[in-house]
Structures are given as structure tokens and as C-alpha cells.
Amino acid sequence: MTGRAAAAAANLWVTIFVTADTTSLLDGLNDLWAGVPLARVAELRRSGTGGRPSFCLALHYPPGGDGWEVWLSTLASTLARRLAVSAVDLEAVFEPRPTLVPADRAGLGDVAHLVAISSAKGGVGKSTVTYNLALALAGLGARVGVLDADIYGPSLARLAGLAEARAHSRDGRRLEPLEAHGLRVMSVAFLIPDDTAVAWRGPMVTQALQQILLQTDWPPLDYLLVDLPPGTGDIHLTLAQRIAVSGVVVVTTPQELAVLDARRGLRLFEKMRVPVLGVLENMRGYRCPHCGHEEELFGQGGGEALARSSGVPYLGALPLDPALRVASDEGRPVVLEDPEGSLAARFRSLALRLAAHLAALDPDSLAPPVIETEEH
Ligand SMILES: Nc1ncnc2c1ncn2[C@@H]1O[C@H](COP(=O)(O)OP(=O)(O)OP(=O)(O)O)[C@@H](O)[C@H]1O
Ligand SMILES: [Mg+2]
């Protein structure tokens, strides 16, 4: 290219770059983790001056996970092609767009998203999943808290390695969350001796939940994950009716009976207008700790079929892996113990899909909590 032609080309891209609407540059492109139109979960902004065109992709969930670098460089090539230039600079930043508006989060402080992890059936791995998803999100750069809403059978304290810890209050009114593995953690187990809550019923449980959720001095958080007890009882109703929940994740194992229960739980949240962010299938297949081979112990695909028939996203699966149980029992979460391992990678993918579907929610369509008591 001659000097004059090069200057003309440079002028052309400057004109296009300055006048082009950045939103339309994303037309027809989908995001990596939720597969939704990219413009729903990100904003593209021009950045830098001079040199070649530079953009910043302000993503409403943390950038990262397997395949991220390749995806980002493909996006940069697509933008360059659309602008008819040879290359663009593109960087991505995490810019959360809260699903909880200030009026909803009275008492919660500066918490952008509150996500409940539920299953109608007990023992399917909710607490294990909650804690490791929280760590995966924190590992991606998010500020994360976890609340143990299982008042009758709290287990997050053990997972966090805080079995003997107690919560304190600076002013005698509000509670300080505890810290473990970079997460903020609160549980009724930090307030009362073991087993005390077992005899509690209705109003006491509701009060205890509101206290640990709303009277805790949460620092600014991008995600607060709430580990629910099994079933569809007072705690679920309180959460859905009195507190603005951004969305819920339904955990199930693959067998038909577990899926039937999960469907019941899913319907309850739908009825209460809490967005279902997706179904997560736990213990799908057994992963041999010696050879890594996976066997379908409880069948497969029940969670996937449930998601499909309910019209909600399928977030993915985790295998039954003894390493996960051992690590959890010892308060050494697998996401931190073996960050390069396959379980940690799966938790990262699951966390990113969850965060992406959360980011894709239309904030205007989020319903306020339903205050009146309904028949269920
Ligand atoms: N994918 C997995 N592979 C192996 N063990 C697992 C897996 N998921 C969970 N577990 C183990 O299963 C047991 C039950 O898990 P967890 O306590 O997380 O379930 P839960 O759904 O929270 O139970 P509850 O309904 O009682 O609250 C724990 O011992 C946990 O370590
Ligand atoms: Mg549990």
C-alpha cells in the first residue's frame, strides 16, 4: 500500500470507528456461557485513543473459564472484519449489573445478586455444590458470600472449615460474617449450639433466617449464594415471599425419583415468580479415582430432561467422585485443593453458566417478592 492509500485507509477506519454504533457491532453474536445474544450480557465500549481500534467488553459476569481466550480472540477477529480493519485490541472486564435494586435489598447492603441453591430431595449435594460454586466464582474475580439457610441441619460451617467458629457483633445488633477461603460465610451454626434448631418451627425458623440474612453486615458482594435445606418448607417460602431472590438453581441427581422431586421444587419457585436459572445434575456417573473412567451409576440425563421439559437452562453435570466427598469432609474444597483438576474445571464452567444466565435476566422483568401468603 502506498503512503497515501494507507493514510486513506486509516482515515476510513477512524470514520467508521467513531460513527459505528458499538451495539450493532455485536449483532448476531452469542455469548460463550449462556449462548444468549452477547448484547444482553455485555456492553462494548471504545477505549484508548490513536493506534488501532481498541474496545473494552464490559461483561456482566466474570470473564474466564475453559475456552475463554479463544472465544475472545475470535470476537476480536469478528469485530475487525466488521470494521474492515486488520485487527482490533479487545479486553474484557467484569462489570456486574445488579438484579437486586436498592429497594429490594433493604438490610442486605450492597449485594448485586442473591442466588438460592435448592433441591426438593435431601442429600443430592446442594451444600457441596453451593460452596464450590462460590469458590469458583471467587476464583474468577467476583466478591462472593455464602449463607447457610439450612437452619435445621447447617453444613456450610464444616465445608468452610469453621466447625467450631462463632459469629460476633461489634455493636450488639448486627453480625459480622466469618471469612473462609476468601468467601464471607454466615450460618446459624455460628450462633447456637449444635442441634438447638431441630425443635424450631414456623415463626422461629423464619425469624432465624431473616436474622442471619438481613442482620449480617455483608460487605459489597457480587454474588450471595444461599444454601437451602431440602424440601419446600418455611425457609423456602420465607425466602421467596419476603426477600428478593435473583434466581434459583435446582440441583438433582439423575434418577427418576430425584427428578420428580426436583420438578416439584422447580414448580414451587416458578409459582412464586422466582426465576429458575437452571438445573444442575449432580452424581451423574461415577468417576473412578484410579483410572478416571466414568460409569453411569444412577442413569443419566434426568436433570437434562427436566430442564428441557421445564423450559429452563441446563447448567451441566458433576460426576460422583469420592475425591469431592473426602475434600468436603475435611474442609479442603476441591476447587482450591486441585484448581487444575477436572472437578475444579467443571465447577468453573457451572459457575460461569449460572452467572451468565443470571446476567441475561431482563432486570425490568424481575418480579418483586410476593408478600401475601399463598396456598401451595
Ligand atoms: N458429586 C459428588 N461426588 C461424591 N460425593 C458427593 C458429591 N456431591 C455430594 N457428595 C457428598 O454427598 C453428601 C451429601 O452432600 P451435601 O451435604 O452437599 O448434600 P445436600 O443436598 O446439601 O444434603 P441436605 O439435603 O442434607 O442438605 C456429602 O457427604 C457430600 O460430600
Ligand atoms: Mg445441605
Domain residues of the chain, as ranges?
Answer: 3-94, 111-365
Question: What pTM was computed for the model?
Answer: 0.90
Stretch (H or E) spanning 258? helix 256-271
Tell me the pLDDT tens digit for each residue of 288-313.
Answer: 777 877 777 666 678 999 999 999 99
One-letter amino acid of 237 = L
For the CA of 156, the nearest ligand: 2
State how far the alpha carbon of 174 is from the alpha carbons of 89, 171, 215, in Å.
47, 6, 5
Share of the chain above pLDDT 70, in %: 86
How many whole angstroms separate alpha carbon 73 and alpha carbon 154? 44
Report phi then psi at 55, rounded to 5: -130, 155
The backbone region for 347, taken as left when phi is positive above 0, alpha when psi lies in -120 to 50, beta otherwise, is alpha
C-alpha cell recorded at residue 79: 469485530
What does each C-alpha distance from 186 to 25, 59, 368 come to in angstroms? 43, 29, 25
Query: Which cell numbers hold the place of 151?
Result: 437452619
In this prediction, residue 113 carries a pLDDT of 94
Question: Measured from the CB, is residue 320 less than 6 Å from ligand 1?
Answer: yes
Q: 74 is written with which cell numbers?
A: 475470535
Pocket test for ligand 1, best of 128, 135, 286 (most atoms within 8 A of CB): 128
**DSSP designation for 320:** B
CATH of domain 111-365: 3.40.50.300
pLDDT higher than threshold 80 for residue 8: no
Residue 302, C-beta contacts closer than 8 angstroms, at least 6 positions apart: 252, 253, 254, 255, 256, 258, 259, 281
pLDDT at residue 371 is higher than 70 = no
Per-residue pLDDT for 105 more than 90? no
Rg (CA), the chain: 23
Segment among 8-12, 37-41, 215-219, 250-254 with least mean pLDDT: 8-12
Give the residue, 374 or 108, on which the prediction is more confident: 108
pLDDT tens digits along 314-364? 999 999 988 898 888 888 899 999 999 999 999 999 999 999 999 999 766
Is residue 324 in contact with ligand 1, taking CB distance under 6 Å?
yes
The protein residue whose alpha carbon is closest to atom 29 in ligand 1 is 325
Output the residue whose Cα is nearest ligand 1's atom 1: 320
